[in-house]
Structures are given as structure tokens and as C-alpha cells.
Amino acid sequence: MSSVDRALSSIRVISSRRCEAHRSPVPSDGAPPQLLVIPEHDDLHVDIGGRRHLVRSDQLAVVCPAEGDTIALTREIQAESSSEMRSVFGVEAIAFKSRGHVYTLLEQELPRTIVVDSTPLLASVVALLHAEGSRDPVVDSLLCKLTEVAVCAAVAAWIDTAPTPPGWIGGVVHPRIGATLEAVHSELGTAWTVSDMAAHAHMSRSAFAKLFREVVGSTPSSHLARWRMAHALELLEASPDMPLKDVADRLGYSDEFALSTAFKRRFGASPRNYVDPAPSRVRG
């Protein structure tokens, strides 16, 4: 499984709702929700953070707002003699909240708004999302799953067509460091050093560290720590009673004390006392 596939497979949409978007902030209880924008008939404009993005009727968009962002959707309707902008009313967006610490590593690299052309898979999922449904627990669960599929497919499509994918997303396809980065991501239990990574890439340590920072945007050691911490959160969330020694063994730490030290350095609390806040969309 590639690094991107691994990150996408970790997303879990925990709530979603159809919404009527308009020229005001999207309602939120806590962290701002993300939006899956799915025009049904007309082209839409997404305004966020002072920028406007066109989403054609044969496209869809995923919007990941930062705290305080105001999102507005408007639809362009062609009149007989002119075109006018009207607010969008109706089910043309799905507001959702997601979890997945490894997915967050990917999301942090993405633009706040990505727009992609529809594909047969996306068209099928969107048709289901447009279908009428009652506010029933089963329907709610299905809406979450369909949103997951649509978001994953859209993000994957954007990455496939991006000329220069940002951060580590571009790093894993880089001709000189890509194979090493994939190895690091898939073998977090290995006691990687920068020298080990450089040797894997058949480069000198200094040349590897310089190129890695230029491509990925962080040092090899910092990037490795971020990936290990994301997986530590996933493991502890899935199995709260897992011994810290087992977590340390899986993630390449010498013992549970080394894991706890690294964890506290990043999150300010021990693994057992950590309370997960709303996911940050700021790279770190």
C-alpha cells in the first residue's frame, strides 16, 4: 500500500449533513466542518479565505476551511440577456467532520480547496448523495460512508493530476527520495537515522538532508517523528489498553520511555493523559 493510499484509508467521516449553503459562515459547533461541494446542474463559485474557485457542473470540490474562514457558495444562472449571481439554496454541499490522524498528515499538505473533474466512480457516488433520504440512523451512517468514498476519490484524483504535488505527497514520487520515503512510511518500526535514509537513497547524508528539506518542507527526522506520532495516536485510539511498550516496538522507539518523551514533546501530555483536540490543518 502506498503512503497516499495508507493516509486515505485512515479517514473516518464521523458526521455529515446535507446543507443549504449561502453567503454566511457555514454553521459549526466547534472546529469548522469541511465541505464536499457537488453541483447538480449549474456551475458554482466557492469563496473562501479571500479567494474564489469555480466548480463546474461536471466537477466537485473538497473544501477544508481554517478556523475563522467564511465560506460562500454562489451559482451562476444564465438569464436571457445577462448572467447573474444568486445564492445557492438546496442540497449542493455536504458539510462533514472527519477523523484519522494519518489522513490529517495528507490533508495538511493540500490546498484549502481542491477542484477535480468527475469520474465514473465519483459520478456514481454523487448520484447516491443526491438521492433523497430521511434523517434516519442508517441513512446517516450511509451518508458518512458515501462522503468518505467521495472525498478519498476526489483527493486521489487531485493528487494524480497535480503538476507538482506539495510536501511529502510530492516527495513519495520524487525520483531520488521517493522510494526511501515510501520505505520509511511503511517501516516505522525500523530505527531509522538520517544516515540510514541517505544510504537507502544512495546519497550522502548532507545531500539527502538538503534535498529532503527542499522537496518535503521539513527535516527527515521531523517528518519521521510526525508520522510516528500520527500512528501512535491511531494505535492508542483503536486499542486504549495497548501497552506502551508494544506501541514503542511498532514505531521504532527503544522503549516506552522514549515513546512517552517524544509524545510529550509534540503534544504536551503523556500518551495516557492526552485528549485529542480538533484536528489542526496547519502543517507542523
Q: What is the pLDDT of residue 85?
A: 39
CA distance 229 to 262: 8
167-177 b/e with 16+ CB inside 10 Å = b? bbbbbbbbeeb
Q: What is the pLDDT of residue 223?
A: 98
Q: What is the pLDDT of residue 88?
A: 46
Q: What is the pLDDT of residue 76?
A: 63
pTM of the complete model: 0.85
Phi–psi pair at 44, nearest 5 degrees: -125, 155
Phi–psi pair at 19, nearest 5 degrees: -140, 155
Q: What is the pLDDT of residue 16?
A: 85
Q: What is the pLDDT of residue 264?
A: 96
Q: Could you give the dihedral angle defined by the CA atoms of residues 57, 62, 65 and 69, in that order, rounded to the nearest 10 degrees?
A: 0
Would you tell me how many other CB atoms lie within 10 Å of the CB of residue 258?
Answer: 13
Q: What is the pLDDT of residue 24?
A: 44
The strand ranges marked E within the chain are 12-20, 34-37, 44-48, 51-55, 59-63, 71-78, 83-87, 91-99, 113-117
CA triple 101-148-275, angle to 5 deg: 30
Q: What is the pLDDT along the chain (284 residues), one digit of tens a residue?
A: 899 999 999 999 998 887 655 444 454 455 678 999 988 778 888 988 889 999 998 999 999 988 778 888 887 655 443 334 344 444 478 889 898 999 999 999 999 999 999 999 999 998 888 775 555 666 778 889 999 999 999 999 999 999 889 999 999 999 999 999 999 999 999 999 999 999 999 999 999 999 999 999 999 999 999 999 999 999 999 999 999 999 999 999 999 999 999 999 999 999 988 867 655 444 44
Extract the C-alpha cell encoding 113. Answer: 480547496
Give me the domains of the chain, ranges plus CATH numbers.
Answer: 3-75+88-161 (2.60.120.280), 168-275 (1.10.10.60)
Q: What is the pLDDT of residue 77?
A: 56
Q: What is the pLDDT of residue 131?
A: 72
User: What is the largest distance, in Å, between two alpha-carbon atoms of the chain?
Assistant: 72
DSSP three-state, residue 205: helix
Which residues contact residue 250 at a Cβ distance below 8 angstroms, ignoring those fewer than 6 apart?
188, 189, 231, 235
